[in-house]
Structure 1
Amino acid sequence: MRFLDWAWPGHPTRWRDLPRRLRPRLVEIARLTSASVVAFVLVYGLTGQRQDLTGALTAMLVVQASTYSTIKMGIVRVGAVLTGVLVAVLLTNWFGLSWWSLGAAVAMSLTIARVLRLGDQMLEAPISAMLILAVHGSGVAVQTRVVSTLIGAAVGMTFGLLLAPAVPARKAAIEVRRAADEVGGLLRASAQSMRDRQVVRSDVEGWLDGTRQIGGQVAVASARVSEVKDSRRLNVWALGTSSGEATLRAGLDTVDGVLRAVAALYTVMARELPRDGTAEDPFDEAIRPAFAVVLDTMAESVHAFGMLLETEFEGDPAEVEEHFTRTLDNLRESRAILTELMLVDPAAGTEQWMLRGSVLSAVEQTLDQLDVLERVRQDREERLRRPGLVAVLGSADLRPRPFADTE
């Protein structure tokens, strides 16, 4: 079991889930294999060269590139692959393979990739060049290699368009859930500190740093959600389906809104709390435990929301939805108790009233952000009403589900 956990993180725990999880991987293997074979057959048919694998290699590289990127980035990677292949073709036909021709191929590929501004795909060029160098043959003319490269690129792009990969909605949902989990983890740490001791300014400043770090995960999740939208372009298998991008974007906005509310809460606390434990604590012994409970229930609500969003794209959301509803009820109840404790102290000074009012306002804002269950249900119903082209054609087994992306 440990080996399985290591070899396949997140593997299904039920046998009935195995076919659904394996299908995208098998489809991906079939795409890569078929593209290579088709390119080889076309090259052989057009050039008569049986020993030239340039077309098969190029097709496989292009299909692999467009599998894990949008159509736009797939075209950029095609340029990178072609750059490396053409450089290697010229060097092997003129000079053959040696240590200096290998170095020249890598250097030239990187230089051209830099000039063409291939960005993150720059390394694809020298990798492609080295692969071609490894299979060079003296009996293959440079014109044949160029033709093979173009055939392979055309086959790869065709496979990328006609057999496009599944929309990566599940991966995006996982990233949004991770952002929610990080917000929840920070709130739990804050709650534990409130229980243990008097919280001072340096504690809250550390929590504020935590909100800035979580912003990085929010940015990662935002990029993933954008990929969901972009990956539908020219994807014929996504026609008629709801991408889930609107649900994911709204969910990410909810998590980001909670993060901003928490950051605002910490900012007010950092401004009003004493620098050390010798000064008067604006949160007395009765308020601190109640405030800790509110922070804990906020954390649980954010965590449950992340789980609910993820199960919208894989799993049964009914049970998680019930848990999410309970966490919101608990948050409302704990907020009411905290409100009563904070507002019944007539001896509190003006500064304490301002701090407590800001705390209650931040809690209320968090609750408003998370009160989205009805919207989630409406989005789910909309997706179920749009089964997509595959279902219309009656060939659902031929393609992975729109949201069952590979991992």
Structure 2
Amino acid sequence: MVCGQESWLALAERAADLAWPTRPRTWRDLPRRLRGTGIEVLRLTTAAVIAWLIAVQITGAVLDLTSALTALLVLQASAYSTVRMGLLRVGAVLTGVLVAVAFSTLAGLTWWSLGAVIAASLLLAKVFRLGAQALEVPISAMLILGVVSPDLAAEARVVHTLVGAAVGVLFNVVAPTAVPIRSASSQVVRVAYAAAECLDGAARSLAAGQVRRRDLAGWADQARAVFGLVASASAAVSHVREARKLNPRALGTRHVEPVLRSGLDRLEGCVLAIRALFVVILQELPDEQELPDEPPGAGRRADRPGSPAYDEEARQAFAVVLNDIADCLRAFGQLVRAEAERDQEEAERALAASLEILRETRAILAELLISRPSADPGLWLLRGSILAAVEQVLLELDLERRARQREEWQQRSALTLPLLTGLPVLPQRILRGR
């Protein structure tokens, strides 16, 4: 009964790691991790309410929500954008809102006015050369078309629109959004955990019994799928760099994009080594249709001593090594996140312990493979490829190499001046918000 509960707990923890790789490990850490979300919700809510209150004071139109919705659209459009992209998005929102105001004044919401609003918005987006932001014009127009009051004067609707846009732009200057460091570091950790999960599955299959071609093909496909997460994480890391430009919240914060980028590069190198390892072993396996009673030397390779695919001792040792590599990948992902938040001491100790265990199990596997005699050149190549792949992972995750990179990054970061030197210094409590 106890063993069953432990297996269920382990399964639940793995599922939680996949769903939220950077989840807090204690209840005490939960408020700190949710603080950024709470601040952003408060920021958007406050802007919308203030825009509505100002518009009501100017026009007296209590039932019209154009100002609140426009403020939300402007804030959303330019929250995580460079200055040029932010201006384009704000222009797209305003164009859509004004088109909707004009059509709602003339005809209200009907099937033909809806179609006309969409067509006019798309045409204006082409005229103003909004490019990738073209679809924001009809989207904004449709949202506004559904909330404006039909009996409100056109002048009041324009005032509501302008008030909402002004409040949205003002909030982006006075209370700008935080640089998305935590989001980017979470994407990097997600890559590490996805690669580790792939290795965990392979280790479980190896420990359970002789593997087949379809098993290895599945592992190779999982490793290849991790590269999609690498691309997403790379975009998130690049977004950190872009979000710092002309952002007052970047004052007083470190430029962490280099440490996230280098950590992601190390993980990508590990995934390449892992996938190459699976491909090499896949080439060593016989086809599924080969008969089990084929004599040795007739194409069947199930009797090859020392092969991690067949030999019992080698297979068990290889499974342990894959498990240890998975632990190292998870520890390295946590280290990268901790480095971005200036709290890497504990993460470094955890990674050092995992790497030491991996070195020990790799030595055991190497001794086991090399000590087995074989006249088969292909098997020697297989053994060497396995050990080389593990060595590549150890090289990519080496702590001394990582410490040198971090020292160089910190020296460059100390010499980098913020772009917005003329802006007033905000309170440190705000600047440290993520």
TM-score, L = length of structure 2: 0.77
Structure-2 residue corresponding to 1:141: 154
Residues 181-239 of structure 1: per-residue CA shift (max 9 Å, x gap): 11111111112222222233332222111112111111111111111111101102213
Residues 348-386 of structure 1: per-residue CA shift (max 9 Å, x gap): 411111111111111111110111441475379669969
Where does 1:155-304 land on structure 2 (aligned, <5 Å)? Answer: 155-276=167-288, 278=292, 279-281=300-302, 282=304, 283=307, 284-304=311-331
Where does 1:327-338 land on structure 2 (aligned, <5 Å)? Answer: 327-338=354-365
Gaps of 5+ in 1: none
SS at match of 1:134: coil
User: Given that residues 105 and 126 in structure 1 are in contact (C-alpha distance below 8 angstroms), is that contact kept between their aligned partners in structure 2?
Assistant: no
Q: For the residues of structure 1 that align with 2:319 and 2:152, how far apart are their CA atoms? A: 76
Q: For the residues of structure 2 that align with 1:319 and 1:121, how far apart are their CA atoms? A: 47
- C-alpha displacement at 1:180, in angstroms? 0.6
Q: For the residues of structure 2 that align with 1:375 and 1:28, how far apart are their CA atoms? A: 39
User: Given that residues 255 and 413 in structure 2 are in contact (C-alpha distance below 8 angstroms), is that contact kept between their aligned partners in structure 1?
Assistant: no
Residues 87-106 of structure 1: per-residue CA shift (max 9 Å, x gap): 11111222234454345434
Q: For the residues of structure 2 that align with 1:201 and 1:14, how far apart are their CA atoms? A: 44
User: Given that residues 39 and 155 in structure 1 are in contact (C-alpha distance below 8 angstroms), is that contact kept between their aligned partners in structure 2?
Assistant: no
User: Given that residues 369 and 383 in structure 2 are in contact (C-alpha distance below 8 angstroms), is that contact kept between their aligned partners in structure 1?
Assistant: yes
Q: For the residues of structure 1 that align with 2:364 and 2:126, how far apart are their CA atoms? A: 61
- The aligned amino acid for 2:372 is D
Where does 1:88-103 land on structure 2 (aligned, <5 Å)? Answer: 88-103=100-115
- C-alpha displacement at 1:305, in angstroms? 0.8
- C-alpha displacement at 1:147, in angstroms? 5.6
- C-alpha displacement at 1:33, in angstroms? 1.9
Q: For the residues of structure 1 that align with 2:409 and 2:251, how far apart are their CA atoms? A: 18
Where does 1:367-378 land on structure 2 (aligned, <5 Å)? Answer: 367-372=394-399, 373-375=402-404, 378=407
- C-alpha displacement at 1:72, in angstroms? 4.7
Q: For the residues of structure 2 that align with 1:16 and 1:290, how far apart are their CA atoms? A: 37
Q: For the residues of structure 2 that align with 1:358 and 1:12, how far apart are their CA atoms? A: 37
User: Given that residues 205 and 211 in structure 2 are in contact (C-alpha distance below 8 angstroms), is that contact kept between their aligned partners in structure 1?
Assistant: yes
User: Given that residues 251 and 431 in structure 2 are in contact (C-alpha distance below 8 angstroms), is that contact kept between their aligned partners in structure 1?
Assistant: no
Residues 233-277 of structure 1: per-residue CA shift (max 9 Å, x gap): 110221353221111111111111100011111122222222248
SS at match of 2:59: coil
Residues 82-130 of structure 1: per-residue CA shift (max 9 Å, x gap): 2320111111222234454345434543565577555477256334443
SS at match of 2:360: helix
Structure 1 pair 12–59 and aligned structure 2 pair: CA distance change class (3 A): farther
Q: With a CA cutoff of 8 Å and minimum separation of 6, indicate the structure with the bigger relative contact order.
A: 1
Where does 1:57-96 land on structure 2 (aligned, <5 Å)? Answer: 57-96=69-108
User: Given that residues 110 and 126 in structure 1 are in contact (C-alpha distance below 8 angstroms), is that contact kept between their aligned partners in structure 2?
Assistant: no
Structure 1 pair 393–12 and aligned structure 2 pair: CA distance change class (3 A): farther
Where does 1:5-24 land on structure 2 (aligned, <5 Å)? Answer: 13-14=26-27, 18=31, 21-22=34-35
- C-alpha displacement at 1:162, in angstroms? 3.5
Structure-1 residue corresponding to 2:139: 126
- The answer to which of 9-18 and 295-304 deviates more is 9-18
- The answer to which of 28-37 and 360-369 deviates more is 28-37
User: Given that residues 251 and 309 in structure 1 are in contact (C-alpha distance below 8 angstroms), is that contact kept between their aligned partners in structure 2?
Assistant: yes
Sequence identity of aligned pairs in percent? 41
- The aligned amino acid for 1:197 is G
- C-alpha displacement at 1:29, in angstroms? 1.7
In the alignment of these two chains, the number of paired residues is 390
User: Given that residues 24 and 400 in structure 1 are in contact (C-alpha distance below 8 angstroms), is that contact kept between their aligned partners in structure 2?
Assistant: no
Gaps of 5+ in 2: 1-15, 293-299
